[in-house]
Structure 1
């Protein structure tokens, strides 16, 4: 593990492979360990950087909600990649990592050569056009965003029970579908009270800060080639035309359903690596 001090946090990251740079960002409630079975495949063709978002994994946990906007999370990663000598790079993210990646593309489009978004629809759309089915499936957006210390107190009572209910609750997934080493890595990190607080602040920022930022950028259409992958059995695919939600935000976007639910990168790593490699290879 390597560490980088950005202007607002200390970021834990790993680098492997050779070739064009590709940054991989994880989602909630995970860490960069989610790429452990995917990164080696991609490292045969790319220089792979996997990083823990601020507040997650082994990265530092800044205080306050404002520290967890996707812009702040993305700034860490833009600074990290510049420090590694990568002025332009390809980028893939899952869940919160995908939302961070999209904000990076909006804020620094000249630096992102290609972009893959895994199992998300635009933040503004999800919050402004919320159906009852999505609200039920994605209740955690609103639970975690409640004022401190309400959600933190409840989660700290049994963090494994709560976060494992997230892993198994968004598609046809059982804990046995997750690699044991990765699951152990997730548990080790989400048991940290500071990580729990940081993850709550991430969701508070989505409602309090990111929604307005996305509203200001709704008219923009990015020229970055984009790929949208989504779990065929996940809540997003059941409620939305996932690819269609991105077609007015990119001039060139392709996509496909993947076997599994929201956490298909964990449960179908080979298929995920193949789809990403096909898109990112020149």
Structure 2
């Protein structure tokens, strides 16, 4: 297991917690107000290894492996991989750690779960950072269609062709095709979404791919995509009561760009802070960790 260190050079604390019927692995470090970090696909807590030391002087950071990922349980599909179930998972984790209210930052699929958490536990989430994601049923699927516009989206000012969404949704087929070639597939896929491919280290790839090759790892990852239609139903219900808490968004020109702010504006009373990071791709916490940390501190602490 690759290690993460805080701002003082101390290793983060690893833990296991029983939360919402599963056993979750998480890391925690730092001091100050609690900040929950929710990773995307196909990653785990190690995604935050550059960002955590920039935050722990100001926040008590908690970074779990989400359901189906890393060292957290990967239950059968019928046990639920949708956004609201994931929101309940991390809410139970934070409650068990003694954090009654907290800030939340999510990227990629973790941002959708962060939105669901803010919408279902409004008394607990103090601020929301929703980054590099669109919501299921609210625009995400439209960018997965095989159209001339989507195929060429990467060459335009905004938009991206997320071809993998319907592919990962198909039962069994992705597992059959990816198994045995995990390194080739995931390294290409992750780096293709970046502005700077070298920002994705060999250590990070080794960590994520070893988890994907472990029992249930690849299936757990795919189940988060197979929950997309349930996520869409969740979001259709959740958006009927708009979010009122302070929200920040960050997009990257190599991926969702300005679409991220537009997305949150539709489901809230307004976005307080928004940015599109120049010369950056989908993995914000690895490609623009300094800019992201500064924006999180300003948004959540006012400094």
Normalised by the length of structure 1, the TM-score is 0.92
1:68-79 equivalent positions in 2, closer than 5 A? 68-79=81-92
Q: Does 2:196 correspond to 1:170?
A: no
For residues 216-242 of structure 1, give each alpha carbon's deviation from its aligned partner in whole angstroms, at most 9, with x where no partner exists. 2333211110000111222x22xx633
1:221 and 1:165 mapped to 2: Cα distance? 38
CA offsets, 1:190-238, max 9 Å, x none? Answer: 222411001111100112x11111122333211110000111222x22x
Runs of 4+, deviation exceeding 4 Å? 133-136
1:4-153 matches, cutoff 5 A: 4-127=17-140, 129-130=142-143, 132=147, 133-134=149-150, 137-147=161-171, 149-153=172-176
Question: Would you tell me which structure has more helix in proportion to its own residues?
Answer: 1
State whether residues 225 and 250 of structure 1, in contact with CA within 8 Å, keep that contact through their aligned partners in structure 2. no
The answer on 1:241 being equivalent to 2:259 is: yes
8 Å CA contact 2:195–2:281 kept in 1: the answer is yes
**Residues in 1 aligned to 2:249 and 2:24: alpha-carbon distance in whole angstroms:** 26
Query: Partner residue of 2:280?
Result: 260
Q: Name 2:290's counterpart in structure 1.
A: 270
Q: Residue in 2 aligned with 1:212?
A: 233
Cα distance in 2 for residues equivalent to 1:73 and 1:125:
19
Aligned residues: 276
Native 8 Å contact 1:68 1:205 kept in 2: yes
TM superposition shift of 1:110: 1.2
| Structural RMSD (CA) | 1.8
Change (3 A) 1:205 1:241: closer
User: Offset of 1:71 from its aligned partner?
Assistant: 1.1
Contiguous gaps of at least 5 residues in structure 2: 1-13, 152-159
Q: Work out the CA distance in 2 between the residues paired with 1:109 and 1:72.
A: 16
Per-residue deviation, 1:70: 1.0
The alignment partner of 1:202 has SS state of: helix
Mapped partners of 2:34, 2:107: distance in 1: 18
- 1:36 and 1:126 mapped to 2: Cα distance? 30
- TM-score for the superposition, normalised by structure 2: 0.86
